[in-house]
Chain A
Amino acid sequence: MAAAVETITKDSSQQTGLTTDDSQFLTFSLGEELYGVDILRVQEIKGYTAVTKIPNTPPHIKGVLNLRGTIVPIVELRTKFGLPTIDYTMFTVIVVVVVQDKVMGLVVDAVSDVLNIDKKDIQAAPEFGAKVNVTFLNGIGKSGDKLISLLDIDRLLIDQEIKEALATAA
């Protein structure tokens, strides 16, 4: 597992063209937890606005949004992770990310910070077996006393892969 994570981190750093040992992550909160995505994958952050529901889609697909003329699907991360839903506040934001040439939005409770995390401060995601699905985590980052779950958004947001991941996990 550790080796696998090693490769994944390496791959993503190649993808982003980073050669240094630390990477920047945009971190955001879902309840008490902190999550991070590679900053180079983030296109923009925008306040939450009403979306149009797509008929017959899973609950975590909130709907679609008009982002300057482009139709962008919006994923509610809380629902995606099986966390309890909460009412949106003025801090609720949409983090617009680019996933394999597709633009998507993630609804998160609040953005918190942009952090430099050294490679040595990233450890493999712990295994919880079938109890918790961590296939879409690149690893766990440490910054001070904060723990940040680093998301592998490619895995997280591409349906096909998720299905495969779930199939192998189950």
Chain B
Amino acid sequence: MSNDFAQFQDAFFEEAAEHLAIVEEGLLALEQHPEDLDLLAKIFRSAHSIKGTAGMFGFNAVAQFTHKMETLLDLLRNGQKVVTPQIADLLLKSTDCLKTLIEAAKSNEPVDNEVVQRLTGELAAASESGGQAAPQAGVAAKAASAPAANQGHTYIISWTPPAWLFQRGLDPLQIFKELGALGTLSEVTVDTTKLPELAAMDPETCYLAWTMKLNTVKDRKVVEGVFEFVREDSILKIEEGHEAREENRLQPASPSPLASNPLPIASGLAPAEGEEPKPLGELLVESGAVSRETLDKALSQQKRVGEILVEQQAVTPQQVEQALLKQRQQESAAHAKKTDTASIRVDTAKIDKLINLVGELVITQSMLSDLGARFEMRQMPILLERMAQLERNTREIQERVMGIRMLPIGTAFSRFPRLVRDLSAKAGKKIQLVLSGEETELDKTVIESIGDPLTHLVRNSADHGLEPPEERLDNNKPELGTIRLNAFHEGGSICITVEDDGRGLNRDKILAKGIKQGLITENDKLSDDQIWALIFKPGFSTAEKVTDVSGRGVGMDVVKRNIEALGGTVSIKTALGKGTTFTLKLPLTLAIIDGMTVRVGQETYIVPLLSILESIQPKPEVIKTVVGKGELINVRGTYLPMMRMYEVFSLQPEYTDPTKAILLILETEGERVAVMVDEILGQQQVVIKSMEQNFRKVEGVAGATILGDGTVGFILDVRGLLEMARRGTPVAA
């Protein structure tokens, strides 16, 4: 059971992460436009959602902390306080803290309570200081539940929620809980008159309406705020009442509807996910063939819930929470198998298209089998045509299915506004970040893995690419530095550029440093590109001082390695004094690559197209040896080491004479090598299959694939191949 519950928690964490992103993004935007009330409302809503769901799942630390944030946000929203840089900063810090709290809840690890407490204090202080708004908000949670609340207003609230309430996963109980937190909630009565016959009832529609009495010190706005999410289509009346009248109504009014028709409350207990509430759903199913027995059983079940609620006349949060928890546990048991740990959200439009395509595929298939059943030679053209259609369908389905894993890169970009904000503060520079191409889609796994390399590059640009404001002004540049992040498709790849208008790479400095580190000699004649490539060498840094953020070069080797691990490349364009652009070129997906099929003896191998520069058939005079053994190939003036693939892989080749064979010039991590194969068969897209799943890593092999004839072909790991060749001896496993 606990495990099933955990799966719901996963959904919460996913949702919370999204809301956190909205809050953070909103706060950053708010700094620029402090008066934007829509923005504030958006931030408030997200914070509110986190609080609500966190409370529901029993993550009290998260809920309590968010509540504090919400209090401050509420003051801002109501205009009782103004967004100052200090407040924005505090809220951002609090968002970080909230992130940590949620992480902690996820991993069940303890949190640094000191930070939480300090921020809680700061939030409370910020909420209190300044004006009469203070007493209301600053004491929010505590004062609200205290009996002293009686002194405030008494509101008679009548609320008819919209019919879609459950469909949107909203839970009236949450509202009651929140009202309860504002003061003393009593006399909650439910209007069940709209409730249809059991058989006609849609468990996802809300047929209920409530009236209740709330005694609170808060003013009307705060109370209205509780209905924030549902205000849209609700019929909501909040009247100021007075005690005497209510006392009279309290006793007779509430028990009767509750006791006689407790069922709707049960639906109120339905969890927020908008799933069908279990008892009702069951009842509905059963009502298809209503047997006395089942109905009785159902009724007795209802009564039990009803009794609880009668007792709860003044609904206390704890009781409700317990009931809710129980309900949720039942719920999660039923849906346990549905959720997967690593889930993906897919645009329904994508799925619709896919369904259409599968439909077409089925039609093509039936046309083909029809043709096959009574095939005559003269129908050959029709057969070929249908085969072509089948091919088209298959290819399109393949593309669309891959598309399901595609997410807009915006999710990876979203962390940068915050990063740049913090960096500019830290480095004392004025930096603006311009994002574009956020809607460009690429594989989920790629998105997840480029986050870190990108962060590195952005940091680098902020810290070392961009000059301090004075220097910029001296150089006739605007004080405000710009970092641009852009993503776009180019051919079968995706390009991501990180561009700054800073000082650019200094050729002489890098050269000097390279010589000093012994990476190059003074006599080396290097092209610009080769010089820029030096900054990707491990430990290479041109920064005079390495700051706490980074040094240009520190960690750049890691960036390059990470990108290449994804089958991508990094290139640099730079102009002294004008700026630097890093371009990452990545395959769209990791599951399919463009490959060149080559033959060595009887075996077929696939070489990733990305690493192939060219292929040549060498003339005898370009082949030289060093120390009698090491073979080098002169390719237009540059000598490249030659590797005989049959040697490395212990195969029987067709040719041992390089002039008869084909040399593939491959490049990996800036190194070039000529690899000798017997023949190039052609170019094709291959689906990567794991070798490790059932066997283990094979040196020099990046993975396997299924070739056209159904046999297995290996995809070469160029890096590994190089290392094997360098060692000279194949490792016999």
Contact = CB atoms under 8 A, between A and B. Distances in A.
B603 A53 contact: yes
A66 B69 CA distance: 57
Contacts of B690: 71
Given A53-B603, A64-B712, A70 B693 contact: yes
A3 to B, nearest CB: 33
B701 A55 contact: yes
Contact of A102 (B694, B701, B730): B694
A70 B698 contact: no
A66 B706 contact: yes
B676 to A, nearest CB: 15
Contacts of B704: 52, 64, 71
Contacts of A70: 689, 693-694
Interface string A30-73: 00000000000000000000111111111000011110011111
Contacts of B731: 56
A71 B687 CA distance: 12
A26 interface: no
B709 to A, nearest CB: 10
A50 B651 CA distance: 17
Pick from A57, A63, A66, A73 the residue with the most CB of B within 10 Å. Answer: A66
Contacts of A64: 691, 695, 704, 712
Interface residues of B, number: 27
Contacts of B714: 52, 54-55
B712 A66 contact: yes
A58 B691 contact: no
**What's the dominant secondary structure at chain A's contact region?**
strand
A63 B694 CA distance: 12
A159 B696 contact: yes
A56 B711 CA distance: 19
B732 to A, nearest CB: 6
Contacts of B110: none
Interface residues on A, range: 20 to 34
A140 to B, nearest CB: 29
Pick from B695, B696, B706, B732 the residue with the most CB of A within 10 Å. Answer: B695
A57 B694 contact: no
A108 B695 CA distance: 19
Contacts of B650: 55-56
Nearest to A160: B696
Contact of A66 (B698, B699, B710, B733): B710
Contact of A56 (B691, B696, B710, B732): B732
A91 B623 CA distance: 50
Given A56-B649, A56-B730, A71 B698 contact: no
B277 interface: no
B713 interface: yes
29 contacts: A50-B711, A52-B603, A52-B711, A52-B712, A52-B713, A53-B603, A54-B695, A55-B648, A55-B650, A55-B698, A55-B700, A56-B649, A56-B699, A56-B700, A56-B731, A57-B733, A63-B712, A64-B691, A64-B712, A65-B712, A66-B712, A69-B689, A70-B689, A70-B694, A71-B690, A71-B691, A71-B695, A73-B694, A102-B695
Interface of B: 603, 648-651, 689-691, 693-696, 698-701, 704, 706, 710-714, 730-733
